[in-house]
Amino acid sequence: MTAAADLAAHLRRISALERVAGWLNWDQETQMPPRGGAQRGEEAAAVAAALHALMADPRLAELCDAVEAADPGPRMAVDVAEARRIHHRATRIDGDLAAALARTTAEAQTAWAAAKDAARFADFAPALDRVLALKRAEARALAGDVGEAYDALLDDHEPGLTAEAATALFAALRPGLVDLRGRLEGAPAGPRASGRFAAAAQLALSRRIGAALGYDWDAGRLDQAAHPFCNGRLGDVRITTRIDEAEPFYNIYATIHEIGHALYEQGLDPEAALTPAGAASSMGVHESQSRLFENQIGRSRAFTEWLHAEMRAAFGDFGLATPDELYRAANAVETGFIRTEADEVHYNLHVMLRFDLERGLIAGDLAVADLEAAWNDRFAADFGVTPPDAARGVLQDVHWSVGAFGYFPTYTLGNVYAAELDVALRADLPGLDADLARGDVGGALEWLRARIHRRGRMAAPARLIAEATGRAPDPATLVAALDAKYGALYGLA
């Protein structure tokens, strides 16, 4: 075999083991019995140790040298660059640390779910302390003596992103969001859905929505989880949702959000399967797909035309007589406690809170013992209310239990990217709203397939968005879009 073939085979083994680790996590969140946490921790640790050994293998660096010397083409060059990145990171982390992280986060995930059900942060705090100690060690090992340790964790989700850049992004967004929120205060409450929405009917509606959006049910499935997520790639991409029989929008928009992720994974280039070049560009780009489908498409006036008829078929009279009423209800602005249910005006303020708190946790400026109080104080300062319990406060997100420190800023990056993609989509597809009103997303999906999905990692995230839209992403585009949308909805001057 050639060096290029050997490198490709090595990288496919790494990717396949990453998928195995992902399925262990999927099973834990959807199917695993309650007493399986400790055993799952050992299973996850074993996979992590094998994965680390492949990534840290000196032969990986040797293969990269050999392939580079042979002048690789563009796709193989991306594979080499990613191989060097993961090898560098793996050699800075001890294999025992990698296994301990996998074991501890699997156990912490079980502890988090139980603590959230009981709404008691104290039940989760010891597990979080153990996770945090390991993540601090990982961040220090990766960062070395250069830069902030938290930057190394950001890089795991959004290569090249730094805390300084994330801070600048939030600073650019916050004044406009706070101003818009202030102008919306006191606005009359809009219409709301009413009645009981049976779980079976909600799940059936989710399947119809998925089919309309282009989700391939032969390459995926839908389950329920405490925190909705998407897992998988190409021929096996699974989504989860959550059901509240008093509030159908939780399921509808969680489903649409996760379908946005799933469409990206199902739309990757199959010829580059299990290679770095064929993977999603970054989590910021990934979130741009989920947020675009959830908000710019799923909450558009055009799409609610189709959705209203589907909800009538699923639930009968559900309290919203017209598509206009559904549109207003789906875009209601209110101060809520839950990030995943937040409207577009408040959503990024939720992300900013988490960014500041987790950055303090990694730096050692904030202790786990003080986290709940810090969360409540910051929430009161930003939103004017205090969470009534830990389940609607510090325990609401799964991310810290699974060690995903540095992930939250990618949600806001995704919102910024989605706003740019929406502008370009509408410029290129002038009939988009007419299509959406019929539940036809085919044109938009084809546009995204060509410009985002099929390209994988062939361009860095911001460059990928710029090449898709014709301009560099700018936070001002998102602020202007929200100002126009909610100004029209609420009659603001």
301 and 432 together in one domain:
yes
Domain boundary among 146, 181, 208: 146
Domain boundary among 89, 115, 146: 146
Residue 157 lies in a domain: no
Mean pLDDT of the region 419-438: 98
Query: Given this model, what pLDDT does residue 146 score?
Result: 67
Residue 198 lies in a domain: yes
Report helix angle 409-428 to 163-184, nearest 10.
70
Mean pLDDT of the region 344-354: 98
Residue 156 lies in a domain: no
Q: Is the pLDDT of residue 268 over 90?
A: yes
187 and 324 together in one domain:
yes
68 and 208 together in one domain:
no
As a whole number, the mean pLDDT across the chain is: 96
Cβ neighbour number for residue 217 with a 10 Å cutoff: 10
Residue 152 lies in a domain: no
Residue 160 lies in a domain: no
276 and 340 together in one domain:
yes
315 and 382 together in one domain:
yes
| 3-class state of residue 135 by DSSP | helix
138, 158, 258, 358: the active-site residue? 258
φ, ψ of residue 236 to 5 degrees: the values are -145, 90
pLDDT in tens, 298-309: 999 999 999 999
Q: Is the pLDDT of residue 189 over 90?
A: no
- Confidence category of residue 165, pLDDT binned at 50, 70, 90: very high
Dist CA 30 CA 226 (whole Å): 8
Query: Given this model, what pLDDT does residue 147 score?
Result: 78
36 and 174 together in one domain:
no
405 and 328 together in one domain:
yes
Which CATH number does the domain housing residue 314 bear?
1.10.1370.30
Query: Given this model, what pLDDT does residue 213 score?
Result: 98
3-state helix, strand, coil split of the chain in percent (to 5) is 70, 5, 25
pLDDT in tens, 21-45: 999 999 999 999 989 989 999 999 9
pLDDT in tens, 98-141: 999 999 999 999 999 999 999 999 999 999 999 999 999 999 99
140 and 179 together in one domain:
no
Query: Given this model, what pLDDT does residue 61 score?
Result: 97
- Provide the residue range defining the domain that includes 125: 3-146
> How many percent of the chain have pLDDT more than 90?
96
Number of domains in the chain: 2
Dist CA 239 CA 229 (whole Å): 6
423 and 362 together in one domain:
yes
The set of residues, in sequence order, having a beta carbon less than 8 Å from that of 316 and lying 6+ positions away, is 195
Mean pLDDT of the region 312-335: 97
Dist CA 161 CA 284 (whole Å): 10
Mean pLDDT of the region 154-165: 95
Query: How deeply is 359 buried, as exposed, middle or buried, from its count of CB atoms within 10 A (0-12, 13-18, 19+)?
Result: buried
pLDDT in tens, 201-252: 999 999 999 999 999 999 999 999 988 999 999 999 999 999 999 999 999 9
Query: Given this model, what pLDDT does residue 96 score?
Result: 96
Domain boundary among 112, 146, 180: 146
Q: Is the pLDDT of residue 493 over 70?
A: no
Query: Given this model, what pLDDT does residue 51 score?
Result: 97
- Confidence category of residue 71, pLDDT binned at 50, 70, 90: confident
Query: Given this model, what pLDDT does residue 166 score?
Result: 98
359 and 468 together in one domain:
yes
7 and 71 together in one domain:
yes
Is 310 one of the annotated active-site residues of the chain?
no
Q: Is the pLDDT of residue 363 over 70?
A: yes
236 and 127 together in one domain:
no
